[in-house]
Structure 1
């Protein structure tokens, strides 16, 4: 790389620091309460599995509503950093109020509104970062990694303070609420990110629905349907892993779960090489197979001699997430081409984090309730169900998906 090109991809230290702190706080706020939500609801509010799933379903509702907020407000009327500040300030207050709720009925509406406010901030944080970077393809990962670090630090802090064992998980909401207030104020000091002129004039374009034409292609239709279907077993992981670890007696479960985020960083670095060597079909299949394997590991693992199975299951998070969801985003980008890239990414995000996780949350709660016992749950029976679902999705995907040679060639060129 020439000195001229190197100069172009450097980020000014003050900007790098501001954006890195923004990402750290963004995901610290989310990971600070979301990971342990299932355990908190079961321990403190005596919620059922269906109620726990209903609480996690708020993420999907937030993801569905987010494009309306970002697409119609941030893209047209208000600077992204200012809107992010307002949303975090309001969300922080709601988290602090939610920490004092003494019933699920009082807790749910607060957390629903909070997630509707929070989910758009993920896109807003990305928008602020992208506008400050000269070469996002090279520079963004070095900024985004601080978000993963923020999520990890939140989990380690919860484990170190022992809030799970002492049944004081309401303090996670206080911690996240205070962090959200800090980020809300901090957002007003981020680099200005005013609205840009856009040709996205209607709801169809904002929601990515103009990319529906991609579904006429059989390969992309199979990928699209598989993406929604694989989010059903994903909901089991998000909603109940922390409760599972606490019920079987894993100490500092939230801290142990950060192994998944650590592996995510490592496997993300390996993903371009895997796509280059195997192509999209086999890379995506590896990701789906990892979902089935991780649930089998959870089902047969314990806190004794088979604890290593739980560790493997957690470390597989990097494979599950990077080799399917991140690789799927790359595949969508290459398949859609310049004209539909943004719309296609919006459509696949709405389908997975919105529709897919919503279906998964509605299904997972009743299933977990059906395996309830006097002292907790029969987790082997629970985990084998999402393992089977992931296996069926994998078989269907591998049998029906036909990778386009042109798309694979573009991916290989990108991975170099």
Structure 2
């Protein structure tokens, strides 16, 4: 047993198990999220799309901070992640079973909310585990994180070409299986004990993370990240719908193009973080994101699917350079006893507050601008592109950084 434990904590064993867990963790939403809009539309539940996409970010306002606080103060992060994943798989299975059985959609919404509560802290916990145990974390973290991208891609391809489930709850069943396997494999991750000592109710709820806002740059970073996450909510909600409008019958598989460019970006981002300032890297990501949404606006104006596919391809690059840099940035700028809560706060902003507002804003924009005959997509994506341009301007003006010697991974 002791030998097994030692072997498990050898650098290559740690890397291997982290990569597998990231792969399965990325595969889970890769099955159901890109297909959900078309699954609902096929069942005449199109009006429920925005409601369903509101639920995960709403739950992410609660669980990431509490999960981060537990990992910082009470429960080893690896065990917390493993058991939460097992419970999340059961909730996801129940959610899609209710949809398949034709129950009232509120059953699906509530069960998806339960899944989201269990899975909300997942990415933050995996980030803490990875950057705690990986040697040369800035370089190697993107290499394990790319496992999640490959998992998402594999799920998309399997949904369209193996399961034929672009409009079927079968995609949700596959997602539940992937999540269960993720939880089982997570028991092989290295022990990551709590390092914090907080005892107050504020600490136990993860609210100590908000003390980071006292730093001006941190405040600007979190505000811009929240604003940036609002238009990003439209990507998985409505990019597949536009693909279908433009004649693509395999929209779930087409969406995985974003993951191809994300893989390339993952291989590059470690070196980029060590060479360029945080501000430079994040501004690149914001600027390219504005262009990416502008390309989808061009697709809506011209009816050419090539513009939209080009924008989807650019999405992977934008996502990686912003959010992976952000995760490493937060891990390196906070006290070790606050890392879990800091990642939880980042998850709250990127997976909770921003997407919650985004689901409502993007849903309202889509219903107001896009007509039944497919017109209005140019205005829809154009407005979202302008929103990201505003984020670029705010960050460029108000974020200061530490000077020329501040590489993102330092």
TM-score by length of 1: 0.82
Partner SS for 1:163: coil
Q: How much does 1:207 deviate?
A: 6.2
How far is the alpha carbon of 1:111 from its aligned partner? 0.8
Alignment match, 1:148: 149
What's the counterpart of residue 52 of structure 2? Answer: 55
* Change in CA separation of 1:147 and 1:303 when aligned onto 2, cut-off 3 Å: farther
Aligned residue pairs total 399
> Which segments of 5 or more consecutive residues in structure 2 lack a partner in the other structure?
1-8
Q: Which residue of 1 aligns with 2:29?
A: 30
Distance 1:393 1:72, change over 3 A: closer
Following TM superposition, by how much is the alpha carbon of 1:389 offset from its aligned partner in structure 2, in angstroms? 1.1
Say whether the 8 Å CA contact 1:36–1:243 is kept in structure 2.
no
- Residue 386 of structure 1 deviates from its aligned partner by 0.7
Task: Check whether the contact 2:217–2:399 (CA below 8 A) recurs between aligned residues.
Answer: yes
Q: Are residue 170 (structure 1) and residue 202 (structure 2) matched?
A: no
Aligned pair in 2 of structure 1 residues 138, 385: CA closer, same or farther (>3 Å)?
closer
| 1:7 corresponding residue in structure 2 | none
The aligned residue for residue 198 of structure 2 is 200
Please say if residues 207 and 343 of structure 1, whose CA atoms lie closer than 8 Å, have aligned partners that are also in contact. no
Deviations 1:211-239 (A, max 9, x none): 54554454443333212111111111132
Q: 2:222 aligns with which of 224, 239, 243?
A: 224
Q: 1:73-127: CA deviations, max 9, x gaps?
A: 4555555444444333332233223223224223111111111112223344445
Report the TM-score, using the length of structure 2 for normalisation.
0.83
1:313-345 deviation per Cα after TM superposition (whole angstroms, max 9, x unaligned): 012113321332233344445665778666544
Counterpart in the other structure of 2:397: 399
Alpha-carbon distance, 1:53 to partner: 2.4
Counterparts of 2:350 and 2:408, CA distance in 1: 25
Question: How has the CA–CA distance of structure 1 residues 162 and 345 changed in structure 2, closer, same or farther, with 3 Å as cutoff?
Answer: closer
Cα separation, 2, equivalents of 1:339 and 1:13: 26
The residue matched to 1:404 in structure 2 has which SS? coil
- Is 2:40 aligned against 1:41? yes
3-state secondary structure, aligned to 1:316: helix
Tell whether the 8 Å contact from 1:334 to 1:410 is kept in structure 2 after alignment. Answer: no
How far apart in 2 are the matches of 1:126 and 1:413? 14
Q: Distance in 2 between matches of 1:77 and 1:353?
A: 24
Distance in 2 separating the partners of 1:340 and 1:80: 13
Match of 2:281 among 272, 280, 283: 283
Measure, in 2, the Cα distance between the counterparts of 1:137 and 1:337: 17
Aligned to 2:64: 67
Gaps of 5+ in 1: 1-9
Aligned residues of 1:45 and 1:104 also touching (Cα < 8 A): no
Which deviates further from its counterpart, 383-392 or 395-404?
Answer: 395-404
RMSD of aligned residue pairs (Cα, Å): 3.4
Comparing 219-228 with 380-389, greater Cα deviation is found at: 219-228
Measure how far apart 1:133 and its partner are: 3.9
In structure 2, do the counterparts of structure 1 residues 361 and 93 end up closer, same or farther at CA, with 3 Å as the change threshold? same
Checking the alignment, whether the CA contact within 8 Å between 2:70 and 2:204 is kept in structure 1 is no
Which residue does 1:411 correspond to in 2? Answer: 407
Corresponding residue for residue 86 of structure 1: 83
Please identify, of 324-333 and 90-99, the stretch whose mean Cα deviation from structure 2 is larger.
324-333
